[in-house]
Amino acid sequence: MSETDDNDEEPGYSNKKERRVILATAVVSLLTIGVVLFAISPQWYQNYGPVQPIPFSHKIHAGQYKIPCLYCHHSAEYTYHAEVPGLETCMNCHSLVKTDSPYIKQITEAYKANRPIQWVKVHVLPDFVHFNHRRHIAAGVQCQTCHGPVEEMSRVYQWAGLNMGWCINCHRDDNYLTDYRIKWSQKEKEMKGEVGKQQPMLDEMLSHKNPHNANISCSTCHY
C-alpha cells in the first residue's frame, strides 16, 4: 500500500483548508467588531447629545423667544444640508442683546477674529446615506418630525433613531404630501414667484405611482 493510500487528502490540502478556516474566522471577527463598534458609536446613537464648546439653548431661542428654525438654519430650505449658522447670524441679535454674557463675549471675539466655532455635529448619518432637507421642507415636513421637540432642549440631542426602518415608515405615511398639495394650492397666487422655482422638484416628488407617499426606492436615500 502506498503512502498516499494511507492519506485520503492530497498533499497540502489540509494546509489550504486550515488557511481558509483562519481567513474566514478573521473576516467574521472583523465584521462582528465593525457591527459592534457601529452599534455603540455615539454618532449614530439615539439620545446622543454632545457638549458644545459654547452652550446654546434651543429652549430659550426656539422655545421662549419663538425664533423660527429657518432663521438660523436658512440653507435647509434651499439645499441638502441644514448648515450650522455662521457667527454673523448670532451677531444679528447679540451685537445688542446680552452683550455682557461671558459666552456672548466668546462669540463676539471669534466673530471679530473671523474664527469659526468648532461646534460638535449631533446628527451624523453613515457615508452611504444622503438626506435632502430642501425636499422635506418643501413637502411640509416639520423639523420636529426628525429632530424632536428641539424648542424644549437646552442641549440638542439625537431624538429619533434615524435608522432605515424609521425613515421608511415615515415615507409610507400618506399625510405629508397630501397636506402639502392642499397648502400649496391655497398659497399658489401669493407665492407665484416661488412656484416657478420649486415646480420641477415638486413634479419629480409627485411623479411616482402613489403621489400621496414619499418614494421608498433605494436610490431615494442611498448613493
Q: Is residue 165 part of a domain?
A: yes
- Taking each helix axis as running N to C, give the angle between helix 102-112 and helix 87-94, from 0 to 180 degrees, rounded to the nearest 10: 130
pTM of this structure: 0.64
Q: How much is the pLDDT for 174?
A: 58
Q: How confident is the model at residue 140 (pLDDT cuts 50, 70, 90)?
A: confident
143 and 193 share a domain?
yes
Q: How much is the pLDDT for 173?
A: 73
Lowest mean pLDDT among 4-18, 100-114, 142-156: 4-18
213 and 167 share a domain?
yes
Q: Is residue 150 part of a domain?
A: yes
Q: Is residue 26 part of a domain?
A: yes
pLDDT digits (tens, 9 = 90+) for 181-215: 445 455 544 555 554 444 454 454 444 445 556 77
Rounded-to-integer distance, Cα 133 and Cα 143, Å: 9
How much is the average pLDDT of 3-31?
A: 67
Q: How much is the pLDDT for 38?
A: 56
Q: Is residue 168 part of a domain?
A: yes
38 and 127 share a domain?
no
CA angle 166, 211, 145 (to 5 degrees): 30
Are 122 and 102 within 8 A, CB to CB?
no
Q: Is residue 52 part of a domain?
A: no
Range of the domain at 21: 13-44
**Higher confidence at residue 87 or residue 23?**
87
Q: How much is the pLDDT for 158?
A: 93
Count of domains for the chain: 2
Unique residue bearing C-alpha cell 449631533: 122
Q: Is residue 62 part of a domain?
A: yes
DSSP secondary structure code for residue 62 in this structure: I
Q: Is residue 101 part of a domain?
A: no
